[in-house]
Structure 1
Amino acid sequence: MRIQHMHTTPIYPLDPWQIIETEATRAEFARNATLFALANGTLGVRGALDDNEGDAAGTFINGFYESAPIHYPENAYGFARESQTMLKVVEAAEVRLQINGEWVSPTQLAAHRRTLDMQAGTLTTEQTISAGGQTLVYRSVRLVAQSEPALFVQSITVTSEDFSGEVKLWSRVNADTRLKKVSDDPRVGSHLQGQIFDISKQPLDAHTIEFEQATRRSEMALACAVTHISTPLVVPDHPDDLPTEETFIYAYTLQPGETIRLDKYASYATTLQHPRDYLQSAATQGLQSALAQGVEALIKRQQDDWAAFWHLADVRIDGDDALQQGIRFNLFHLYQSVGRDGRTNIGAKGLTGEGYEGHTFWDTEMYVIPALVHTMPMIVRQLLTYRYNILDRARQRARELGHKKGASFAWRTINGDECSAYFPAGSAQYHINADIAYAVQRYVTVTGDTEFMQTMGAEILIETARLWMDIGGYIDGRGFCICEVTGPDEYTALVNNNAFTNWMAQANLRYAVQAVEALKADAPEVYEALRNRLSLLDDEPAQWAQAADQMFIPYDAARDLYAQDDSFFHKPVWDFANTPAENYPLLLHYHPMVIYRHQVCKQADLVLALYLLGDQFTTEQKRRHFDYYEAVTTHDSSLSACIFGIVAADIGDMPTAYEYFIATARMDLDDTHRNVKDGVHIANMAGTWKCVVNGFGGLRVYKDKLRLRPRLPELWQGYAFNVFFRGAMLRVEVDAHGTTYTLLQDERLTFAHGEQEVTVQAGQPLRLPHSAL
């Protein structure tokens, strides 16, 4: 079915670089707190109002979690044993304004404006307040510093236009942070309730407090040091001596034309980076570094850091302000949420909310990495380093699942252990192992990073290849089959020969063979050391190659279609015509067995293979499969629209591709799935880049060669993006008449423009007409 909610009225005014809120609406506090969140890959702070009206605040540290036993009423061998939940940590962003002893009420706001500036990386609140017929202006600027490990900064000014009287700023630091209660929606909530941490508190001076939070089961700890700089200097009151929070009350007498200012700094340090006994020192050193720079210098550094990102990753759209705003918003959140240290990854909701408990899924390898590898490959290396660092846990999980060799990566995790309590849509999604192998191969192909392949990548490829040999087996008359798995479509579970899984496993096996052969030829000493460490038998690569060559893919000759799995075409098609619109997503309204016994897809499954492995299909094959599977797909997953959009563009259906791109680009900004309050949809955000670059731009990498086939959507005047490949940075600018290629980095680059091989050289832009499909 064609995706719904494509055309909506924008919630925020259209602006190419800013998201602007002009009304503080209580009903939307949680949604706006997600959309106005700030982060730096380590620290994330939700964009709640400064006074935390509506209790929408939340501060998160990437990779910082608590675990808890998973309780099954009916247990079984090999079930996941412990959950992991990313925690809300010390909240330091709350500041409330009091005027002449009275809290400011919404009725006193003569004007309200909040601006998320995506060029500057700041969130600014400006409010004009009427107090007894007199006027004050409240202004707050927030940032989560890109240049510091885990630093939040907030600068507040209150200016009197004609007001005379007392103004107080109540700055609160709260360490008793708690999670949402679990709900009927499996995507939201945690069983960790009540006070989660052991908390200690230590005042350092009149303006500074330090809290420590320690988990009880995962044995993680965190220190947060918070200080204030007041102008004019005043000594704050401390109204209560509570063990889990501290409030600083700064009182000022204000006259017309005067301004008071309060700068607030919060520095975090965790046992992810530091020994437990060094946490307080690390947090206070972070404060000292920030204070030495000052707010203005930190803001300037923030602008420079974001300018560097946009220089590499910006996608320019000429002719559609809504989509231009949408893609930049999505890239902004994608970059600020992604882990960059090799120890952390990126959760399905980034660092913006509690949805999916902060877990990492296959989203990283199938959505995030393809978007970043051509713009910021250094981050992709860190994401794949994270996978290598949890490889031992993946080996252990494979043994728990009964596999004698290989590694089975967790479907959802933070530290590498499986956290999915529902194995039909969790551990059964073995394709994640091939997805990771695909990402390794793509990264090495794009970057030429043989050092990564020799030290980490080859080992991942070998261990995932071994897993397929244990999961699958040969069946007479069919070939190598893989049974009892779940593909990307979670509305079809525990099937035999899911086509996507088998194709991706086939690619995984072949990548592993190539990696072993390359090691033997180029780094024999590395190969010997790895062979001995892994006890790799001489005949294993030949077995992988044979299994790949004999991989079974279900095919229906009467339909001239590949089946999504062995049984898919033997089920009745879901009754879409008589399903009420309010019953989507189906997972919240029907028992899984009702869904499983029908032809109905939650998201792109076989269609995803048409994109990832596109050189294995003709255009006509892609068109037939797209038409069939689109008709039975609900797009209940946010991961679906971008893939259908890319394939629609690939088969030349630009109007349909454009409709899917609209749904992708503005999904969160317009809250079309009605659940942004729980966090953004990171995979879909990465999918926005893919829609433009892989879809309209036609970017593919087949057989180690870069290929582009740009086409222009009818409603646009042009678009532009950058592509990194093998040390070169290529600028691609598309308009109605053709494409201009400009080499921004390196001396020359050879690639395919449509079916034509071309070479662009430094200082010599290349102009070419559009290529036919």
Structure 2
Amino acid sequence: YHGHVFWDTEIYLLPFYTLTWPEAARTLLMYRFHTIDGARAKAAAMGWRGAMYAWESADTGAETTPEQVVDPDGRIVDILCGKLEQHITADVAYAVWQYWQATRDEPFLLDAGAEVLLETGRFWTSRAQPESDGYCHIRDVIGPDEYHEHIDDSAFTNVMARWNIRRALDVAALLRERWPERWANLSSRLGLSDTELAQWRTVADTMATGWNPQTGLFEQFAGFFGLEEIDLTAYEGRTVPMDVVLGRDRTQRSKVVKQADVVALLGLLPEEFPGESAAANFRYYEPRCGHGSSLSGAMHGLVAARLGYSDLALHYFRQAVAIDLADNHTTIVGGLHVAALGGTWMTAVFGFAGLSLQSDGVSLNPKLPANWRSLAFSFAWRGRRLKIKIDGTEQLLRATLQAGDPMTLSVNGRQHEVRRELAAACPL
């Protein structure tokens, strides 16, 4: 990307840095804080409030996405991501909150993180508009699936926006309770009133998401289910992306998905998919994905591993690893696909090891591939550092506390106290 910053940083790189090198994660997030004025300027220029982060950002936070490019046959092609791929704003908030959960870095939250959460939450409450059906809608966007432009109510965008608003309300309540003087100063500087915060809650509670409780499916965007079905198995030998095979217009009219979209939402916010709906959404969207992005395989692998589809998860893990090792995208001359590498780590740690981070602690639900003897990794958590080794042969998980105070670790639903070393039976 020649030094420019996209959503890859927050969604595919920050998890690795947050859990292995928190100081680097903090630096990456401070970049977003230092460029928040550029995000505010973009929101204001488009008629909204708060901070709307650039899809492609450089030194000031101003939008640097080109408005047009010339394609190989000489046609002028409009590039709409800079205006319409707005989920980047919620992605930044997601990374801020995950860092806070993992580190409890109070100076960061008070000096930077809270302001980012509040200003991004404010953006979404101005962006989502109430309509006569009683719901708030976000119209004319692009989701992670960039094959479909000018769409309404992208499930990924709307659910992440709702999540963003609710975390902004959480941080407002936290500051009000624990640091009332800091809250008074910050809310005064931002012009935040209790009336506005109450309106935020209303927007979050009435956000249209495309969720169907009967089927358990999220519609990727309004009208997606009515698009043309394309059997991707008929194109397995292709050497170019599906939008090149079908042409842009037909791709836009089809259910072919460029990369993990609803599946990415499932990877980031699994709590939004109750009961069997996680498997239902994965089974629906996975066969329709053309994997036209190097980021797609890793996220599919992560979700497949969590769901217990170990062979499919291993397939996607290998696909992600091979992007650079085998140059499967024939672009290694431009440098490593660092975000895909981050995604590969996520597949191993969040997928196969089943690491999950909640406000009240850490859990592991391992599901190793059948031919893996073991998986080992270390991670940082609120001033502690743990080394985890999952032994597939012995069906055993070993946790070693390398630094910090004793902590509780949940393994397959059972709570264990880790003071120095723990060995827990772990059926795989």
**Equivalent AA in structure 2 for residue 715 of structure 1:** N
Q: Counterpart in 2 of 1:402?
A: 47
Q: Tell me which protein shows more strand as a share of its residues.
A: 1
CA 1:425–1:522 in 2, change beyond 3 Å: closer, same or farther? same
Query: The residue matched to 1:668 in structure 2 has which SS?
Result: helix
Larger Rg, first or second structure (1 or 2):
1
Q: Counterpart in 2 of 1:344?
A: none
Query: The residue matched to 2:259 in structure 1 has which SS?
Result: coil
CA 1:572–1:516 in 2, change beyond 3 Å: closer, same or farther? same
Query: The residue matched to 1:372 in structure 2 has which SS?
Result: helix
Asked if 1 retains the 8 angstrom alpha-carbon contact of 2:141 and 2:154, the reply is yes
1:445 partnered with 2:101:
yes
TM superposition shift of 1:705: 2.4
Asked if 1 retains the 8 angstrom alpha-carbon contact of 2:357 and 2:363, the reply is yes
CA 1:623–1:751 in 2, change beyond 3 Å: closer, same or farther? same
The CA deviation string for residues 708-749 of structure 1, in whole angstroms up to 9 with x for no partner, is 112322111111001211111111001121101110111301
**Paired positions, count:** 414
**Equivalent AA in structure 2 for residue 581 of structure 1:** G
Q: Counterpart in 2 of 1:761?
A: 419
TM superposition shift of 1:636: 1.1
Q: Structure 1 unaligned runs (5+)?
A: 1-355
Query: The residue matched to 1:700 in structure 2 has which SS?
Result: strand
1:501 partnered with 2:157:
yes
Q: Counterpart in 1 of 2:241?
A: 585
1:742 partnered with 2:400:
yes
**Equivalent AA in structure 1 for residue 56 of structure 2:** R
Asked if 1 retains the 8 angstrom alpha-carbon contact of 2:40 and 2:50, the reply is yes
1:481 partnered with 2:126:
no
Asked if 1 retains the 8 angstrom alpha-carbon contact of 2:308 and 2:367, the reply is no
1:752 partnered with 2:410:
yes
TM superposition shift of 1:578: 4.8
TM superposition shift of 1:589: 4.9
Distance 1:578 1:724 in 2: 45
Q: Counterpart in 2 of 1:388?
A: 33
1:576 partnered with 2:240:
no
Asked if 1 retains the 8 angstrom alpha-carbon contact of 2:385 and 2:403, the reply is yes
TM superposition shift of 1:612: 1.0
Question: Which of the numbers 265, 281, 297 marks the counterpart of 1:641?
Answer: 297
Q: Counterpart in 1 of 2:169?
A: 513
**Equivalent AA in structure 2 for residue 393 of structure 1:** G
**Equivalent AA in structure 2 for residue 725 of structure 1:** W
Asked if 1 retains the 8 angstrom alpha-carbon contact of 2:267 and 2:303, the reply is yes
The CA deviation string for residues 19-65 of structure 1, in whole angstroms up to 9 with x for no partner, is xxxxxxxxxxxxxxxxxxxxxxxxxxxxxxxxxxxxxxxxxxxxxxx
Q: Structure 2 unaligned runs (5+)?
A: 68-77
Distance 1:718 1:557 in 2: 39
Distance 2:360 2:46 in 1: 35
Distance 1:560 1:529 in 2: 44
TM-score between the two structures when normalised by the length of structure 2: 0.93
Distance 1:628 1:478 in 2: 28
The CA deviation string for residues 297-334 of structure 1, in whole angstroms up to 9 with x for no partner, is xxxxxxxxxxxxxxxxxxxxxxxxxxxxxxxxxxxxxx
Percent identical residues: 36
Question: Which of the numbers 614, 617, 633 marks the counterpart of 2:270?
Answer: 614
Query: The residue matched to 1:768 in structure 2 has which SS?
Result: strand
Asked if 2 retains the 8 angstrom alpha-carbon contact of 1:495 and 1:566, the reply is yes
Give the 5 Å matches for 1:253-652. Answer: 356-403=1-48, 405-415=49-59, 416-420=61-65, 421=67, 422-556=78-212, 559-579=215-235, 581-582=237-238, 584-589=240-245, 591-618=247-274, 620-652=276-308
Give the 5 Å matches for 1:103-118. Answer: none
Query: The residue matched to 1:539 in structure 2 has which SS?
Result: helix
CA 1:771–1:757 in 2, change beyond 3 Å: closer, same or farther? farther
Distance 1:527 1:560 in 2: 40
With 576-585 and 671-680 compared, the bigger mean Cα shift is at 576-585
Asked if 2 retains the 8 angstrom alpha-carbon contact of 1:729 and 1:744, the reply is yes
TM superposition shift of 1:475: 2.2
Asked if 2 retains the 8 angstrom alpha-carbon contact of 1:712 and 1:735, the reply is no
TM superposition shift of 1:478: 4.8
Distance 2:288 2:56 in 1: 27
TM superposition shift of 1:410: 0.5
Query: The residue matched to 2:386 in structure 1 has which SS?
Result: strand
TM superposition shift of 1:620: 2.1
TM superposition shift of 1:591: 4.2
1:678 partnered with 2:334:
yes
TM superposition shift of 1:527: 1.3
**Equivalent AA in structure 2 for residue 716 of structure 1:** W
Distance 1:577 1:691 in 2: 24
Asked if 2 retains the 8 angstrom alpha-carbon contact of 1:486 and 1:498, the reply is yes
Q: Tell me which protein shows more helix as a share of its residues.
A: 2
1:727 partnered with 2:406:
no
Give the 5 Å matches for 1:158-177. Answer: none
**Equivalent AA in structure 1 for residue 406 of structure 2:** R
Give the 5 Å matches for 1:216-255. Answer: none
Give the 5 Å matches for 1:187-206. Answer: none
Distance 1:489 1:514 in 2: 30
RMSD: 1.7
Asked if 2 retains the 8 angstrom alpha-carbon contact of 1:601 and 1:634, the reply is yes
